[in-house]
């Protein structure tokens, strides 16, 4: 009504000015240009062009929970929550309110997005996918409008597809749901989060379409408390890195369509891929297949997987190559790490190489016998010994150290701090905030010095063995853990 009234006044003014002989062309031209610019900016600001990432929202992704390996605990918890969504009539009889939100929390590549897609398939729902960054704009009110539009689209598309459920998947929800007040210069973040909270509160058991919001994040620590309280995101599902059995399951899933040679042992591969995520394991099987294709091999063998593990962990081989003296130093350094690794944890060394990859001139791949969730002081001290062994071999045999050990020392200091702040040092239970810097430095130095003493003794006892392995490395560039252990066993027999 007001728009029509304003339009009428505008037309009357134009007629009046024309009758009085005023040239209206410049005014009409400027007015038209201004109207066009205003509409363009307004559309952008109000989010009229906002598009959900998933182009075909009516089509449920063909992902099943059977396609997700290594996450049995997370899957079971998610399936239990989804049963409440499927059994809407039963939960109404028992007076149970619907679940409004599920938060999937875990490191990148662990299968959070796959789980959301599998959930949509399991409850036969509409699946709308977006990310936290799509709601943040410089214009006031845009994010809140987009949140409202997202929930409206979910309900409309579910009705159009004649379905009772809709899943809204928000990846990287920490961008949208960070603690309010942390962006003091940009209140748009807080307004957008407020709107999301309002929409979650508006979900009811009597709704024609049951909307379930699934969020995914690897930074759950920065999320606003109001978002995580019961009644909004009711369940927090931890999607962690897979354990050894989980890694084996994932490898079976990703190799079922690949021709494997008889020497490929997936159980052993699972041991050698300690702390690999599901995405890394998928990349591993793909890289191994690519290497087999390059060699025109009919099957993927153990060496292809061995090379693929190194590539996923460290990157592609580099064209640059250290000079002869540097290569010799790298070989001694890596043999030092391998020797102490095998002494403190027998059968843990998988491979030693002086081939440059990524930022590493050489490296030793260690494989623990099992996944550990608790670490003792002996275990941590052994890790320090392995870390400092490379530089100490350089010093004892070559006469000095090099800058190549700087990263090892940083890791050794972090492990030492872990000992101190876990109450396992001579200081007892201490506070990070109140511990004087000088005392911290002295304690760190004392702990590391104690491990250096142990390492020096082992180097002196095994000096001939170290020279022997270095010669092999300089000639062949790598040596397997089994060959390394065979040489070490012979050396122990000769010394005895």
Q: Can 65-238 and 324-491 be said to share one CATH topology?
A: no
State the Cα–Cα distance between residues 479 and 469, nearest whole angstrom.
8
CA–chain centroid gap for 270, Å, is 19
Per-residue model confidence (pLDDT) at position 53: 44
Per-residue model confidence (pLDDT) at position 47: 45
User: Rg (Cα) of the chain, in Å, rounded?
Assistant: 31
324-491 folds as: Methane Monooxygenase Hydroxylase; Chain G, domain 1 (1.20.58)
Per-residue model confidence (pLDDT) at position 90: 78
State the Cα–Cα distance between residues 482 and 496, nearest whole angstrom.
21
Which residues share a beta bridge with 233?
101
Q: Do residues 348 and 367 touch, judged by C-beta distance below 8 A?
A: yes
Q: Domain extents for the chain?
A: 65-238, 244-314, 324-491
Per-residue model confidence (pLDDT) at position 80: 84
Per-residue model confidence (pLDDT) at position 493: 73
Give 267-274's long-range contacts (Cβ < 8 A, gap of 24+): 269/305, 269/309, 270/244, 270/245, 271/244, 271/367, 271/368, 271/369, 272/309, 272/350, 272/365, 272/367, 273/247, 273/309, 274/244, 274/367, 274/368, 274/371
Per-residue model confidence (pLDDT) at position 247: 92
Pairing of strands 349-353, 233-238: unpaired
State the Cα–Cα distance between residues 377 and 180, nearest whole angstrom.
40
Give which of 404, 392, 369 is closest to 451, Cα–Cα: 392
Entry pTM: 0.74
> Would you call 90 a catalytic residue per the annotation?
no
First and final CA of the chain: distance in angstroms? 102
244-314 folds as: Helicase, Ruva Protein; domain 3 (1.10.8)
Q: Which alpha helices (H) appear in 87-141, and where do they start and end?
A: 88-93, 112-122
Give which of 139, 122, 130 is closest to 189, Cα–Cα: 139
- Strands of 301-413, DSSP E: 349-353, 363-366
Per-residue model confidence (pLDDT) at position 371: 62
For the chain, which ranges sit under pLDDT 70?
A: 1-61, 137-141, 181-189, 205-206, 318-320, 368-373, 495-496
Which residues share a beta bridge with 216?
104
Per-residue model confidence (pLDDT) at position 230: 85
Q: Do residues 193 and 145 touch, judged by C-beta distance below 8 A?
A: no
Domain 65-238 has CATH 3.40.50.300: yes
The CA-based angle 372-353-308, given to 5 degrees, is 70
Per-residue model confidence (pLDDT) at position 45: 44
Q: Per the residue annotation, which of 334, 395, 452, 458 is the catalytic one?
A: 334
State the Cα–Cα distance between residues 94 and 210, nearest whole angstrom.
17
Q: Do residues 378 and 419 touch, judged by C-beta distance below 8 A?
A: no
Q: pLDDT tens for residues 476-492?
A: 988 998 899 999 988 87
């Amino acid at each position: 009504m007001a728009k029509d009234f304003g339009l009428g006044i505008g037309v009357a003014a134009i007629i009046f000015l024309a009758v009085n002989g005023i040239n209206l062309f410049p005014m009409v031209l400027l007015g038209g240009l201004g109207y066009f610019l205003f509409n363009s900016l307004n559309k952008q600001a109000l989010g009229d062009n906002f598009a959900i990432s998933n182009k075909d929202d009516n089509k449920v992704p063909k992902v099943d929970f059977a396609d997700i390996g290594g996450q049995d605990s997370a899957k079971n918890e998610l399936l239990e929550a989804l049963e409440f969504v499927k059994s809407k009539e039963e939960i109404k009889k028992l007076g149970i309110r619907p679940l409004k939100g599920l938060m999937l929390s875990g490191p990148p590549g662990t299968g959070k997005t796959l789980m959301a897609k599998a959930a949509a398939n399991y409850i036969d729902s509409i699946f709308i996918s977006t990310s936290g960054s799509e709601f943040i704009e410089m214009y006031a009110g845009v994010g809140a409008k987009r949140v409202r539009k997202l929930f409206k689209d979910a309900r409309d598309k579910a009705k159009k597809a004649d379905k009772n459920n809709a899943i809204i998947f928000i990846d990287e929800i920490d961008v949208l749901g960070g603690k309010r007040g942390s962006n003091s210069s940009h209140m748009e973040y807080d307004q957008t989060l407020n709107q999301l909270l309002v929409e979650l509160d508006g979900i009811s058991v009597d709704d024609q379409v049951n909307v379930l919001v699934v969020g995914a994040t690897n930074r759950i620590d920065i999320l606003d408390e109001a978002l995580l309280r019961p009644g909004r995101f009711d369940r927090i599902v931890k999607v962690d890195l897979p354990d050894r059995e989980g890694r084996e399951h994932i490898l079976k899933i990703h190799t079922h369509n690949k021709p494997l040679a008889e020497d490929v042992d997936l159980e052993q591969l699972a041991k050698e891929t300690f702390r690999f995520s599901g995405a890394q394991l998928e990349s591993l099987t793909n890289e191994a297949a690519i290497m087999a294709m390059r060699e025109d091999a009919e099957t993927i063998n153990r060496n292809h997987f061995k090379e693929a593990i190194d590539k996923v962990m460290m990157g592609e081989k580099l064209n640059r190559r250290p000079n002869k003296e540097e290569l010799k130093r790298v070989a001694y350094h890596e043999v030092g790490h391998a020797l102490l690794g095998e002494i403190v944890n027998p059968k843990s060394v998988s491979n030693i190489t002086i081939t440059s990859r990524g930022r590493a001139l050489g490296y030793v791949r260690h494989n623990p016998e099992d996944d550990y969730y608790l670490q003792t002081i002996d275990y941590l001290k052994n890790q320090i010994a392995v870390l400092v062994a490379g530089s100490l071999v350089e010093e004892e045999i070559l006469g000095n150290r090099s800058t190549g050990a700087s990263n090892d020392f940083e890791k050794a200091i972090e492990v030492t701090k872990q000992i101190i702040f876990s109450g396992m040092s001579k200081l007892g239970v201490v506070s990070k905030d109140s511990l004087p810097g000088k005392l911290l430095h002295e304690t760190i130095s004392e702990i590391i010095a104690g491990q250096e003493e142990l390492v020096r003794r082992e180097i002196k006892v095994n000096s001939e063995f170290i020279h022997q392995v270095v010669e092999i490395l300089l000639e062949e560039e790598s040596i397997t853990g089994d060959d390394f252990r065979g040489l070490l066993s012979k050396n122990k027999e000769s010394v005895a």
